[in-house]
Structure 1
Amino acid sequence: MYLLGYDIGSSSVKASLVNADTGKCISSAFFPKKEAAIMAVHSGWAEQDPQNWWENLKLSTRSVMVESGVKADEIAAVGISYQMHGLVCVDKNKEVLRPAIIWCDSRAVPYGQKAFEVLGEELCLSHLLNSPGNFTASKLAWIKANEPAIYEKIYKIMLPGDYIGMKLTGDTCTTVSGLSEGMFWDFRTNELAGFLLEYYGFDSSLIADIKPTFAEQGRVNAWAASELGLKEGIPVTYRAGDQPNNALSLNVFNPGEIASTAGTSGVVYGVNGEVNYDPKSRVNTFAHVNHSAEQTRLGVLLCINGTGILNSWVKQNVAPEGISYNDMNTLASQASIGSGGISVLPFGNGAERMLENKEIGCSIHGLNFNQHGKQHVIRAAQEGIVFSFKYGIDIMEQMGIPVQKIHAGHANMFLSPLFRETLAGVTGAVIELYDTDGSVGAAKGAGIGAGIYKDNNEAFATLEKLEIIEPDVIKREEYNDAYMRWKACLDAAMVR
């Protein structure tokens, strides 16, 4: 018995087949092999043709089926992970009306900001837990204002994962988690955010049927089975946005647990057990995969633009030419905790939501030409990245999230022992590194939704834990002193 998971990204579509009994991934494939195109007709726009997602999903599916040798009737359930905050519009024939406006498209920012001002910050934050911002509802407002002829033809609006679910099953449905990421969900009343729909002039009939995240959401129909080489009738039993799904993939379900990634940019995703929000709107809050009216489980999402991109810049411009990342980490470890008094603010990749949308840039503080060498600057850069994570985690703790454990994939900045040890040391959290990815997580999510696994603990019992990093309590004061010095530099930069 096997589980099929899809991850619908903006760069590629990945499929993975997981053996339900062993929990092991037996085959994975992604298409296209070169990063998928994003259409940008105007500055700040970002669109993709949903049909291309489907075509790449077909290629990925056929590839894993051929490579694995698994028979179509051995697949028990399908799960979907997808790029968040996109907007797909279909007519009554379920045909796409225009290219999808995807997550990184910024055209709707003025619409969300105006809604935030007119409706009031208190109302939006206390009910939506976010500003309407540049999310799906605001993107729909842009279409209503600028493409009225298309808007009038809309039968249903969908997120990218909802669209793929419709292509698989013929049914249009969504989830509370999905609605919350689009700013369509009212957490105070546990229903559609009527006040925002009314403000924008949206009819609630545009919203697809609401299904649980873990439940049968339709079955693969005859047409899709023929397109994909699957068997008709396979249930689709899970869907979630990529960040909640990444947390699921790392078995992060409960308050105090954190999922983190640290690539070009960094993400800290923490689970909150109470309805709460940041009054400065420095983080985003959505319904987590296991949220329900009876059990509050909210995913608090912090994105830091200046993360691995700084480490990459240092490798290219500061470290000895031709050095590997491993050798660069070794060189950095020659400097002591605190980098001899150097502090680096890593925010050179645009405005930071965490810093109230200010763009303060990257800067180096405390550099002494007679005392410091490359090793100090390299270490200070990594410490600066870690300290930005710590700064965001402090915001989460102020919201009532007790950060005790950080789950992460063994990739990118988490490959650096110095990065991991500093993060554990300054936060006091245990770091656990795992071997997993989003499409594998979606497959296991499908197993939970289909009742093959009784809960997440059974689903992820075989999740391979590669390493555990415990905080060094003896060095905790040194890490804290370095962080407080860094934070003083940040506080000064914020008021300039």
Structure 2
Amino acid sequence: MNQYLLGYDVGSSSVKACIIDAKTGTTIASGQSPSEEMAMHAAQAGWAEQDPAMWWDHAVKALQHAVSKAQISSRDIKAIGISYQMHGLVCVDKNQNVLRPSIIWCDSRAVEIGKQAFHELGETWCLQHLLNSPGNFTASKLRWVKVFEPEVYDRIHKVMLPGDYLAMKLTGETVTTRSGLSEGMFWDYEQNAASKKLLTQYGISEKLLADVVPTFGVQGKVKRDIAELLNLQEGTPVSYRAGDQPNNAFSLNVLNPGETAATAGTSGVIYSVTDKNAYDMKSRVNAFIHVNDEQHARRNGILLCVNGTGIQNSWLRKQAQAGGALLSYEQINSIAASAPVGSDGLTVLPFGNGAERVLEDKNINGSIHGLNFNRHSQAHLFRAAQEGIVYALRYGFDALKEMGVSSTVIRAGNANMFLSPLFREAFVNTTRARLELYDTDGAKGAALGAGVGAGLFGSFSDAFKSLKIIRSEEPTAELSEMYEQSYMHWSMLLKRQLQQQHG
């Protein structure tokens, strides 16, 4: 009897669906919708919104694409897992109708709200209880809605994260996880419960929070009309959900203290697991509950995020088209590799996608520096862009080290910017850590999580028996020194830019 698992990965660029064999853990087929990138609406500078209905539409199409490729019966899918873009706010009424577009992760409108709460609640209290500043996270975005859209706020029945919304569409249940509440900044680590003090500060009723279900386990079952739409069995369980970065770590079997995962998609992330309630005094990196956290075995993930990563590469690609023809990313990588380390002094600050937590919630926008019309070519610009992303990650990597979180090995999926040889070279020689690339991605991780949650895998080790390393790369002394000099130039320029714009 065939048994398959479905994993969804709801990103801000696309929705991916992965079908894996529940017996072997191997991928049968994957689908993605749309083929390029989903729309992101910015009515004002620093804003970023998406329509949740768009996610659902592409989730339907992505599954159809995957099933068509797999040539299987989707009725043999036994469980569903969901990975999703973190920190987004979805508001629904009593009839589960969406009340406004989702305010997504890279939206900066609530920065000042979070700063004010950090001051008024007390920085020490926030760091000890929330492990973060309230910052620009989901709770602060909800406060923004309460202040500036009171007519919307008054109609809210429940607030959710993007993955909670997709699960609601499948099952009709409005539920979330402890990990989800922590990423929304609703969780008090000292009280091990929703933070009444933060909710009171923001004037938000705890009744608006969705009920909590375990990360692994039956969280709801596919309802009849959706089963008919997707050709699934009615009652198929949704048995796992997690934000994209905890899920990426899970997909790479990064579950224990000291282990580290990375991604370089729309945003760039380094995510390290710890067994402590650790925090950064400046909230440049942020702690959240990891997927395998248990009462007797604490597991938190320390997340370093750079918003402007793949989105910067995508922007450059669109600007570089000639005669309407886009260069492929492979062509861009090849062109970039012809320029030397340091790009002959051309420097890019990749911060053009909203306020950056690693910059203490400052928004300095993306910028290009040192451009010389007689020396620099397209190759220099492409290379400087990729180096700038790596240097931004290194800037945050140093903040992790200040917390005592040090990584000598970093695992990543063989995808997105890690497909670029130049990016990999710059990454290993700037962080001075070995990079291991694996044949996995977020959608596959979600499918594996579904198998664990539904009991089709007896353990985490059973789920990861098919995980294969594709390649590993090591830093070299000569290249590390060259990149270190280039990074020091980049970091001095960043410091100067921060001083000019923010004093």
SS in 2 for 1:216: strand
TM-score, normalised with respect to structure 1: 0.86
Aligned partner of 2:288 in structure 1 is 286
Distance in structure 2 (CA, Å) of the matches to 1:376 and 1:60: 37
CA positional deviation for 1:78? 0.7
The answer to whether the aligner puts 1:389 opposite 2:393 as a matched pair is yes
- What percentage of aligned pairs have identical amino acids? 52
SS in 2 for 1:153: coil
Aligned partner of 2:269 in structure 1 is 267
Change (3 A) 1:91 1:430: same
Aligned partner of 1:238 in structure 2 is 240
Change (3 A) 1:113 1:166: same
Distance in structure 2 (CA, Å) of the matches to 1:132 and 1:348: 21
The answer to whether the aligner puts 1:172 opposite 2:177 as a matched pair is no
Q: Any unmatched runs of 5+ in structure 2?
A: none
CA positional deviation for 1:168? 1.9
| Partner AA of 2:398 in structure 1 | D
| Partner AA of 2:364 in structure 1 | E
Instruction: Describe how 1:89-108 pairs up with structure 2 within 5 A.
Output: 89-108=91-110
Asked if 1 retains the 8 angstrom alpha-carbon contact of 2:414 and 2:437, the reply is yes
The answer to whether the aligner puts 1:346 opposite 2:349 as a matched pair is yes
| Partner AA of 1:185 in structure 2 | W
TM-score, normalised with respect to structure 2: 0.85
Aligned partner of 2:205 in structure 1 is 203
Aligned partner of 1:86 in structure 2 is 88
Aligned partner of 1:359 in structure 2 is 364
SS in 2 for 1:408: strand
Asked if 2 retains the 8 angstrom alpha-carbon contact of 1:345 and 1:490, the reply is no
Instruction: Pick one of 9, 19, 22 that aligns with 2:21.
Output: 19
Deviations 1:233-279 (A, max 9, x none): 21211001122222222322223333223346422222233111111
Distance in structure 2 (CA, Å) of the matches to 1:43 and 1:314: 20
| Partner AA of 1:459 in structure 2 | A
Change (3 A) 1:166 1:388: closer
Deviations 1:37-92 (A, max 9, x none): 44555555444443343333333334433443433442221101122222222333
Aligned partner of 2:426 in structure 1 is 422
SS in 1 for 2:5: strand
Distance in structure 2 (CA, Å) of the matches to 1:46 and 1:379: 28
| Partner AA of 1:349 in structure 2 | G
SS in 2 for 1:217: strand
Q: Any unmatched runs of 5+ in structure 1?
A: none
CA positional deviation for 1:490? 4.3
CA positional deviation for 1:223? 2.8
Which is worse superposed, 426-435 or 472-481? 472-481
Instruction: Describe how 1:49-448 pairs up with structure 2 within 5 A.
Output: 49-263=51-265, 265-307=267-309, 342=345, 344=347, 346-347=349-350, 349=352, 352-356=356-360, 357=362, 359=364, 362=367, 364=369, 382-448=386-452
Change (3 A) 1:283 1:337: same
Asked if 2 retains the 8 angstrom alpha-carbon contact of 1:343 and 1:489, the reply is no
Distance in structure 1 (CA, Å) of the matches to 2:62 and 2:334: 39
Distance in structure 2 (CA, Å) of the matches to 1:444 and 1:8: 16
SS in 2 for 1:218: strand
Deviations 1:123-152 (A, max 9, x none): 222221222222221222233233434433
Change (3 A) 1:103 1:413: closer
Change (3 A) 1:28 1:426: closer
CA positional deviation for 1:179? 0.3
Larger Rg: 1
Distance in structure 2 (CA, Å) of the matches to 1:445 and 1:225: 21
| Partner AA of 1:254 in structure 2 | N
Deviations 1:107-130 (A, max 9, x none): 333332322222122222222122
CA positional deviation for 1:215? 1.4
Distance in structure 2 (CA, Å) of the matches to 1:386 and 1:142: 33
Distance in structure 2 (CA, Å) of the matches to 1:315 and 1:38: 18
Distance in structure 1 (CA, Å) of the matches to 2:388 and 2:103: 34
Distance in structure 1 (CA, Å) of the matches to 2:142 and 2:81: 26
Deviations 1:464-486 (A, max 9, x none): 32111123256555554554455
SS in 2 for 1:463: coil
Distance in structure 2 (CA, Å) of the matches to 1:34 and 1:385: 22
Distance in structure 2 (CA, Å) of the matches to 1:89 and 1:329: 41
Distance in structure 1 (CA, Å) of the matches to 2:439 and 2:203: 46
Asked if 2 retains the 8 angstrom alpha-carbon contact of 1:360 and 1:493, the reply is no
Q: How large is the Cα RMSD of the aligned pairs?
A: 3.5
CA positional deviation for 1:433? 1.3
